Structure formats: structure tokens, C-alpha cells
Amino acid sequence: MDEDIATDWPAQEEEETRSLDDVTLGEVTQLANPDNDGAQEGDDTDSEADNEDDKPSTEWSFPVRAAPILALQGETVTEFPLSQHVTGHQSTSLIVDEKLMRIVESRYDTDGIRRLNVRMALVKEHISGYSHTHLDIFQRLMPIWASSAGFGLFVWLMMLTNLPMIGGGAFILAGLAGILLAKLDLHRISFSDHGGRHDFYLSGWRQNPFLIYNSTALLGPAFVGFLRDGELDTKHIDVIVESMKQPIQPTVIEHVKPSPVPAAQPLPNISPQPPIPSQIPAPPALHPIPLAGPPVTAPQTDIPSPPVAAPIPQPLPLPPAPAAPAMVPFNSLPPPPLPPPVPQAGAPAMDPLWD
């Protein structure tokens, strides 16, 4: 029994006492810095929080966008909206991530599922050019299309009256085709890379005109920055999108009501009060007139006569009108001279030689 105990003690002492050579460097560092475990745990929690912040947001609302749908697949992208339907259930966006540039159509179907349709995909590093063209030539020629359709209808009316008019249908089709192309409001967006030029046609048919006009105007400056440093700036288009979400406040016109004119108040009926006897003045005292004595005459004062108005000068008589020339009566004229006497026939002529 004692021997067994004696043989067990040295073994226990060897296990308890370890040499310095057996202690590793990691154990020494752990003993010197006992707070490292807490620091490592804190770093892990911070990294997890950063990873949660880096995750793309999946929250979405109308109008439907492509970035929340791609976030469901774990993709973090930069979205540049190009156009959206008037109902908000469909939109077209330019998507840029670390390697690709895509043009994506996102829509909300009647079954309640959001879907994506990739219309174009290019490698981000190979893109070398960009151009935008607004095909508004059909809108400028709108009077011609309307005139063509109207002339075609006129020709058809002439055909109904059995007149020799041919070709009315061709004019009508040409006019309707031009009007339809004008309503489409086409925009051509082109991208260039090593493989050539890639065209994408953006239509404004039943699209929000405010967004499509601003997006095509802002895409050029944003894509110039993308070609320069590889980053697509979307802060300007984001301001446009946020302004579209805010409802337009109607202007309230305050009508100033005229102040009512106060009605004329009737004057109070003041009945005349009889004077108080104490307030009636006493009549003047009458002095007695002496009966005897000479009459007293009051001193006469020269009262100036009122000024006599100056006589008004009479107007000068008008000069007599010139007398009309006397008309000589026709009977007062002298009679015309009598003709000389005519000698009688057969009488001898008086010759002074026969005297």
C-alpha cells in the first residue's frame, strides 16, 4: 500500500511542474494579453454589422425598379432609370455593377410577381463609346402626315361620286404611318466596344414624358464620367425620381371677400322739448316816450349810394351789305333800228344827173 503511494507521488509532481521549454509562444502571448479574446469577439461583431450594411436593400414600391429585384439574388448594382410606364408597373433602367453594364426591363405582372428582361449586356471594361439620337423627324413632319390622311379621305369621297380619282388609300396609309411613328417618340442609344456599335431603341409610347426627357438628357454627362473613371453618377437622376414621387400641390387662390358696407343707422327721433320757463330770456324793458317837447331828430349821416355799374358798350353796327345790281327790265331797252326803205318796183330810179 505504501509502495504504491510512494510510486504515485513522483508522477503527479512531474505533471504539475512543467519546464519553460515546454511552454509555447502562443501560450506566453495569451498569458501576457488576457484581453485579446474580448477584442477578437468585438471585431467579429463589427465585421458582421458591416456585412449587413453592405447587403443591398430588397425593399421596393411602385414604380417597380430593377435594383431591389437583383438584391434578392445578392447583387449590389447602380441603377440609372431611363423610362417608366404611366402606371408604374414597368420600367427600363441602365444597370452597372463591378463587371457588367446591362439594360434591363423590370415589370410587375398581373400574377403579382416581378420579372426582369435583360435587353443588352456588355463587359464594363470593353465599353469605349456612347451616343444618343432623338428620332423626332416624324414629329416635325406631323402637318404633312395629317394633310396626307385628309387628302386620302377627300379622294375616297370623290370615288364615291364616280369621279376618276385613284390612290386615296395610299395617302391614308402614309399619313397614318407617319402619325404612328410620331407618337412612338423613338430614342436611339448606342454603345461601342471592341465588337462594334450596339443600338438600343427606347420608345416613349405610354411612358412618363418627364422622366424619359430628363433621363436621356442626363445620361450623356453621366456616361462621360463613366468612361473616364468607371463610375456612373446617378445623383442628378435620383433627384428627378424623388421629385416625381411627391404629389403636385395645387395652387390655392385665396379670394379676398370685400368687407361688407355697414348699413346706415337711422337717426334717433329727437322730439323737441319745450323750453324751461326759467331759461326763457326776459323781454327788453320798454322806455316810455315823452309826450311833450320838441321832436328829436336823429343825426343824418351821408350814406354812400351804391356804385353804378359801368355801361356796357354797344356793339358797332355792321356795315350795310352791298346793294345788288339793278336789273334793267327787258321792255326798257331801245327798239332796234329799222331797216332802210326798199324802193318800189317799177319806179324810176332817182338819178341826180336828171335834176
Give residue-wise pLDDT tens across range 237-294.
Answer: 999 999 887 665 555 555 556 666 666 565 555 555 655 555 555 565 555 555 444 5
Q: Total domain count for the chain?
A: 1
- List the domain range (segments joined by +) for residue 107: 55-136+185-245
First to last CA, the chain: 247
Arithmetic mean of pLDDT over the chain: 73
Cβ-defined contacts of 228-231 (< 8 Å, 24+): 230/124
Check whether 224 has a pLDDT greater than 80.
yes
Q: Indicate whether 324 belongs to any domain.
A: no
More confident residue, 131 or 280: 131
Model confidence over 56-75: pLDDT tens digits? Answer: 667 778 889 999 999 988 89
Indicate the DSSP class of residue 73: T
Q: Indicate whether 91 belongs to any domain.
A: yes
Q: Indicate whether 20 belongs to any domain.
A: no
Phi-psi region of 293 (alpha: psi -120 to 50; beta: other; left: phi over 0): left
Q: Indicate whether 146 belongs to any domain.
A: no
Taking alpha carbons only, the member of 83, 349, 51 closest to residue 237 is 83
Indicate the DSSP class of residue 142: H
Cα dihedral 86/187/200/221 (nearest 10): -100
Across 143-172, average pLDDT: 80
Q: Indicate whether 86 belongs to any domain.
A: yes
Across 116-129, average pLDDT: 94
Number of H helices, E strands in the chain: 9, 7
Strongest mean pLDDT among 46-50, 108-112, 292-296, 312-316 = 108-112
Q: Check: CB of residue 211 under 8 Å from CB of residue 84.
A: yes
Indicate the DSSP class of residue 23: S
Model confidence over 66-110: pLDDT tens digits? Answer: 999 999 888 999 999 999 999 989 999 999 999 999 999 999 999
Indicate the DSSP class of residue 20: G
Across 316-333, average pLDDT: 61
Other Cβ atoms within 10 Å of 145 Cβ, number: 20
- The pLDDT-based confidence of 24 (bands split at 50, 70, 90) is very low
Which pLDDT score is estimated for 14? Answer: 46
Which pLDDT score is estimated for 210? Answer: 92
Other Cβ atoms within 10 Å of 159 Cβ, number: 15
Q: Indicate whether 18 belongs to any domain.
A: no
Taking alpha carbons only, the member of 227, 230, 218 closest to residue 97 is 230
pTM above 0.75, yes or no: no
Contacts of 20 (CB under 8 A, 6+ apart): none
Q: Check: CB of residue 77 under 8 Å from CB of residue 69.
A: no
Q: Indicate whether 3 belongs to any domain.
A: no
Across 12-27, average pLDDT: 47
Q: Indicate whether 122 belongs to any domain.
A: yes
Across 187-203, average pLDDT: 93
Contacts of 91 (CB under 8 A, 6+ apart): 63, 64, 65, 66, 81, 82, 83, 84, 85, 105, 106, 107
Which pLDDT score is estimated for 29? Answer: 44
Across 39-43, average pLDDT: 50
Q: Using CB atoms within 10 A of its CB, is residue 242 exposed (0-12), middle (13-18) or buried (19+)? A: exposed
Q: Check: CB of residue 85 under 8 Å from CB of residue 207.
A: yes
Can you tell me whether residue 8 is helix, strand or coil?
helix
